[in-house]
Structure 1
């Protein structure tokens, strides 16, 4: 299934995308949030709506705004330097274990909402990533199969970064990752039955029509299921959590000379089978 949320900011409604039609499932699930995932509702959703002719339906092309496909996550856990060439372009050694950092959950916005250059920011950068949404509780998972069992689905995630804050303001990555609007998500949450091989997905990102990133999840140093298993050794993964699994090469910081986002730029990114995003860049004000 492809799960979506649509409508004005703060008033999104949950839906299921079928071909080019969105079935509004508000009356069935309430919202695609931690409570829904924890209840196991995702396992029965298709059956619950199968014969519901009374549910509102909307042409996808008529939807004015897509929200993030899950309501605000409890935590956003990120894996850094998970593609070898990206680590090299960043001037860093290949990690022996996954590099883990966090983003504020409030960074998560819709896939076509504006991205804001933060006040004081001078090096706002782009990163297309495969996002993984957790659908169950994960504690000390013993195997990659155990990890697979708690994944609710996959989505396009844009891990926007302010490199000046991240690398030049005391060494705390979270400062450069947690600015408002710094995690556009969606448009869809695609359930695992429709993503048979998460390690064979192509990723692309373009700025103002020029391709900057192009890669495949098969180039990950630490595969998706190993990332989920590994994280569960250090923290409890909970329904609704989002994991950003790293970015392929081609970020602005790695260019010669480096190039960063400016007001008015347009960023377009996509992952094979998971849909596409488009954001306009604006300057934040106090």
Structure 2
């Protein structure tokens, strides 16, 4: 199943992708459906909602404004340096423990929405990433073997980074939390459609059609199952929390000369079996 959050008549609605159309589940049920609400409702809620698609009004996917798949998720926990070659291009050693940092929901935008280059910096960089969405409360100290069962599904993510601000402090938080720098979508793909842990999938970024990053999710240093296990040693993961799993080598800052995104550019993130996330770049007004 592939769910989208979209805007119609000024409100956020939940839809199911069927070919090139969106089945409007909100209109069909008359309820204020959301992906987050369905995840929090527990096992079977996603399938039950999808079962309403047959009689639901349809909207063309093309031309419909898509929102982040989870506009207001719970925790957004990101991993840095989670591909060995990306760590090396930044002059870092392969980490022994994940480099965790947090993003806020106010950074998130949907497919086709503009990434905004801020007035205060020209160092706007792209990062192709896989996002894993937690489907139910993860017990503390969950085993690595059981961890994948707590993932409800996956989406594409672009961890757009303002590099000079990222390096202004020992922690990366500020450079990762500018408004309109977190493209997330276009669709939420349920875990049953992908290999366990979404491993073995090609991941790529393209800037104005030119390939920048090209790798495979099997190259992650800390894959989804191990990441969940390690986080569960420390904190409670809940339905609707998002894990953004790190980026491969090829980002703009590591190039000679550095390659920064600018107004007029288009950045695409594509993950095999998950989807294609595309966003234009504009300057802050």
Structure 1 counterpart of 2:51: 50
1:52, 1:232 → 2: CA distance? 35
Q: Normalized against structure 1, the TM-score is what?
A: 0.92
Distance 1:85 1:189, change over 3 A: same
What does residue range 5-24 of structure 1 map to in structure 2 within 5 Å?
A: 5-7=5-7, 11-24=11-24
Matched, 1:201 2:196: no
1:240, 1:47 → 2: CA distance? 18
Once the two structures are TM-superposed, the CA of residue 47 in structure 1 deviates from its matched residue by 4.2
2:158, 2:95 → 1: CA distance? 22
User: How many residue pairs end up in the alignment?
Assistant: 282
Q: Which runs of 5+ in 2 are unaligned?
A: none
* Secondary structure, aligned partner of 1:122: coil
Matched, 1:267 2:267: yes
Distance 1:210 1:191, change over 3 A: same
Distance 1:223 1:266, change over 3 A: same
Distance 1:13 1:153, change over 3 A: same
Structure 2 counterpart of 1:120: 120
Structure 1 counterpart of 2:281: 281
Question: Contact 1:156–1:271 at 8 Å: present in 2 too?
Answer: yes
Q: Deviations over 1:65-88 (max 9, x none)?
A: 111122311221001100000000
Once the two structures are TM-superposed, the CA of residue 10 in structure 1 deviates from its matched residue by 6.5
1:10, 1:124 → 2: CA distance? 30
What does residue range 37-116 of structure 1 map to in structure 2 within 5 Å?
A: 37-40=39-42, 43-50=44-51, 53-61=54-62, 63-116=63-116
* Secondary structure, aligned partner of 1:185: strand
Distance 1:186 1:48, change over 3 A: closer
Q: Which runs of 5+ in 1 are unaligned?
A: none
Structure 2 counterpart of 1:181: 180
**Root-mean-square deviation over aligned CA pairs:** 1.9
Instruction: Please identify, of 15-24 and 87-96, the stretch whose mean Cα deviation from structure 2 is larger.
Output: 15-24
Once the two structures are TM-superposed, the CA of residue 161 in structure 1 deviates from its matched residue by 0.3
Structure 2 counterpart of 1:151: 151
1:52, 1:65 → 2: CA distance? 19
Once the two structures are TM-superposed, the CA of residue 213 in structure 1 deviates from its matched residue by 0.6
Structure 1 counterpart of 2:34: 32
Question: Contact 1:68–1:187 at 8 Å: present in 2 too?
Answer: yes
Distance 1:240 1:102, change over 3 A: same
Q: Normalized against structure 2, the TM-score is what?
A: 0.93
1:184, 1:8 → 2: CA distance? 20
Question: Contact 1:115–1:182 at 8 Å: present in 2 too?
Answer: yes
Distance 1:32 1:144, change over 3 A: farther
1:48, 1:257 → 2: CA distance? 50
Once the two structures are TM-superposed, the CA of residue 59 in structure 1 deviates from its matched residue by 3.1
Question: Contact 1:108–1:183 at 8 Å: present in 2 too?
Answer: yes
1:92, 1:163 → 2: CA distance? 16
What does residue range 201-240 of structure 1 map to in structure 2 within 5 Å?
A: 201-240=201-240
Instruction: Please identify, of 11-20 and 216-225, the stretch whose mean Cα deviation from structure 2 is larger.
Output: 11-20
